[in-house]
Structure 1
Amino acid sequence: MYRIEVEPRQGWPAIIEEQGLIYWKTELPDGSMMPYWHESNAYTLSSDEVYEMEASTRLLMEMLIEAGDYIIESNLFSQMGIPGWAVPRIKETWESEPPMIYGRFDFAYSDSGFKLLEYNADTPTSLVETAVQWHWVQDVYGAGGDQWNMVHELLVQRWKELLPRLPGERVYFVHTNAEVSGEDFMTAGYMVEVAREAGFTCELMAIEQMGLHEHVGFVDRQGRAMRSVFKLYPWEWLVHEEFAEEALKRMGDEQGQTLWIEPIWKMMWSNKGILPVLWRLYPDHPNLLPAFFEGEEHKLKSYVKKPLLAREGANSVIVIDGDEADRGPDQGYGEEGFVVQQYTDLGDYDGNHPVLGVWTVDMEPAGLGIRESNGLVTNNLSRFVPHVIDD
């Protein structure tokens, strides 16, 4: 893998905004703005590297199934910060297998191969920019430009598979109004377009606008029953909301109930506690890093301490040879507990440190999006950089 210089397209901000990437700038702590979308450079990968990532991802998906069984059999929910009132529904949906859509593995790539950093299984973002980069490779490299990016096609295919399975006359796509950059809105909006292409009638709305009717169940602004809901709102938040009890009670595809996508069992996979579970089950696996729950004995001198439920590197600490080397922004995470994962080098490309985000649709590897940071923590100031397959 290499990082190369690329001539940015003329008028690229207008191009990507028209394609849906309206949140292409990030506000820095001093109030200035920095482009989040970065097309002055690109990463090149060989076909062999892509095949290796794809094979690793397929294997990890199977390993995650074993890990889910292990969490339930070993009753690790408390250790993972998952509240007891959610456990019966997690177990039930794990067995009944309501539909899931997508996820994103984050990998480090170095001389030792691809190493799993985490799996974003419930509400992964950077979906829009992954789609937009396909237009970039076509514009810059022409019809011969290649990229590992079947995300759109596989999402359409997945929604088509679900046409006969989802209850109700329409699917609701909900996001939170609390997110101000527009990322959640545009991510949910993009998923609406994919589902419409697959044949669904869709409704996009803020989760704050959902209502509850005693006999009908969850309803939209017009009082219509919300039978199928895709939520860009994490379960670890939802189970603590005022309506959590009703959401858990009215979960399913029967009349008066709501089928939620992603399913609640993904609280097991989207939790950083999945990392030590995988290491217990598959020690020394070439795609895994040693990982432990906080308080478990380990001999790691270089490690990353991560909150079980944090996002974008928040409240994480990197220790190298016993000394703190970097830390993520303090956003109040960590009360639920931490895991410790062996530190691995992300690689240094002219001072840039990339994380490779491999998308999955259902159980299938689907494509790649790369974010890079100046520091060792990939955080909310990271940049999205497109890639191209170059053999």
Structure 2
Amino acid sequence: MRRLTLAPRPDWQARLEALGFDFHSGGGVPYWDETAAWEFTTAEIDRLDDAAVELHRLCLEAAAHVVAHGRWDALGIPAHWAPLLRASWERREGTDRALYGRLDLAWNGSGEPKLLEYNADTPTSLFEASVVQWQWLEDRFPGTDQFNGLHEALRDALAARPELARGLHLSCIVPHQEDEGTVRYLEGVALDAGRATKFVPIDQIGFNDRLGFVDQHDEPVHALFKLYPWEWLLREPFGAAMAEAVAAGRLTVIEPAWKLLLSGKGLLPLLWELFPGHPNLLPAYRERTRFPAGSTVVAKPLFGREGANVSIARLGPDGRPDGAPLVSMAGPYGEEGWIYQEFTTLPEAGPGRHAVLGVWLVDGAAKGMGIREDDGLVTRDSARFVPHLFR
């Protein structure tokens, strides 16, 4: 595993835009960064694949434990959401089958990859991890390979779902360039899978007693892909009606409601409780005082996103930060509570710059990887996407 320094393709912007990837830069700063690439061996890719499949298995066991024992509080989930999550979980092999997710891992090529978090509900960077970096590989390194079977896996998964036969609505917040890009990409994949599609902004989904949920043209919504977190959705004015429709099987939603069991940071201490010492896990607790003095600990809000409100601190004898935090990010999260995870080093990508490896799962199988680099120790929405290859 090594980081290569490269010259970008002379026409890289035009090449990306020809694919429909028009959010490659923001504020004059490239988000897509092909001045570098990460190179792996086949054995290293196999190890990442194995780690991702193992971690997904552990996460499903943790979800089953929560449902069986009613441990919603361990994940910071309100008890009145339990009937929806239980019904969705029971249909996970049928209409509530998961489509995709992204495991963010820390790994520098030695030892075991460690789970940082599981973006199980609304992961982005899918388009760039799929066809965009594959185009780059074919242009720059023909004859090599890439951990990337995302497009075909997504297409086949959508084609195999009979509950989408009446079509699929896709939705997100508008305007939001990155989210819209992700949703429009998945819309194209669904069309490749033979599914009729319609895009509807999240704030234009309506409800009436006769048809149930409808789009902006008053057409019924039978199946919905939503790039909008379940913990937000269920707090919307129509959240209770959606929960009732999903629990009753009248509405299919991708990702399904049971993915809320995996998408919050409360999953991390639960995994450590159930599988203590597992080589792919980092110690994590709901109470910071569980760590010994001198530990370096990452504080994460239960339902935070894109690095907001994350802090890193060294602990003193009382289990509280010993002096000022090493890192402290601003943001709107934390009201629901916090978890604390042991700090681990990330691969260095230059002075003060670090990389996170995101391994993508489709239908529970590892099907690709995307790498994001950021200045500092916390990966934020300002991170850059860097392609990869293996030999």
- TM-score, normalised to structure 1, is 0.93
Q: Bigger CA drift: 353-362 or 86-95?
A: 86-95
Partner amino acid for 1:174?
A: S
Letter in 2 for 1:101: L
Distance 1:239 1:78 in 2: 17
Distance 1:66 1:53, change over 3 A: same
State the 1:253 CA deviation: 7.2
Cα distance in 1 between the residues matched to 2:382 and 2:292: 32
Q: How does 1:214-363 map to 2 (within 5 A)?
A: 214-251=209-246, 257-294=250-287, 297-299=290-292, 301-320=295-314, 322=322, 324-328=325-329, 330-351=330-351, 352-363=353-364
Q: Report deviation, 1:19.
A: 1.5
Structure 1: tracts of 5 or more residues without a match: 28-32
Q: Partner of 1:30 in structure 2? A: none
2:385 matched residue in structure 1:
384
Match of 1:173 in 2: 170
Greater alpha carbon shift after TM alignment, 11-20 vs 40-49: 11-20
State the distance in 1 between where 2:19 and 2:314 align: 41
**Change in 2 beyond 3 A, CA 1:20/1:327:** farther
Q: Equivalent residue for 2:116?
A: 117
- AA matched with 2:374: S
* 1:156 partnered with 2:167: no
Which range moved further: 332-341 or 90-99? 90-99
Q: Secondary structure at the match of 1:20?
A: coil
Q: 2:163·2:223 contact (CA, 8 Å) conserved in 1?
A: no
- Cα distance in structure 2, aligned partners of 1:370 and 1:364: 18
Task: Report the CA distance between 1:295 and its aligned residue.
Answer: 5.5
Deviation string, structure 1 residues 152-206 (Cα, Å, up to 9, x no partner) = 11101111111x233x6211011111x53x1111111100111111110111121
CA distance in 2, matches of 1:354, 1:335: 28
Report the CA distance between 1:16 and its aligned residue: 1.2
1:38-76 deviations in Å (ceiling 9; x for gaps): 001101111111000111111111111110022223433
Identity %: 38
The one-letter code matched in structure 2 to 1:304 is V
Alpha carbons 1:80, 1:337 under 8 Å: kept:
no
The residue type equivalent to 2:153 in the other structure is L
Q: TM-score, normalised by structure 2?
A: 0.93
Q: How far does residue 223 in structure 1 lie from its aligned partner after superposition?
A: 1.6
- Listed one character per residue, the Cα deviations across residues 349-383 of structure 1 (whole Å, up to 9, x for unaligned) are 32221000000001100110000111011111211
Determine the C-alpha separation between the residues in 2 that align with 1:214 and 1:93: 23
Deviation, 1:252, is 5.3
Distance 1:137 1:320 in 2: 41
Question: Does structure 1 residue 44 correspond to structure 2 residue 39?
Answer: yes
Residue type of the alignment partner of 1:335: E
Partner in structure 1 of residue 319 of structure 2: none
Q: Which residue of 1 aligns with 2:318?
A: none
Do 1:320 and 1:343's aligned partners in 2 also have CA atoms closer than 8 Å?
A: no
Gap regions ≥5 residues in structure 2: 316-321
- Deviation, 1:26, is 3.1
2:105 to 102, 107, 112: 107
Instruction: Work out whether residues 4 and 43 of structure 1, in 8 Å CA contact, stay in contact via their aligned partners in 2.
Output: yes
The one-letter code sitting in structure 2 at the alignment partner of 1:367 is G
Count of aligned pairs between the two proteins: 377
* C-alpha RMSD over aligned residues: 1.6
Report the alpha carbon displacement of residue 34 of structure 1 after superposing the two structures with TM.
Answer: 1.5
Matches of 2:375 and 2:314 in 1, distance apart? 17
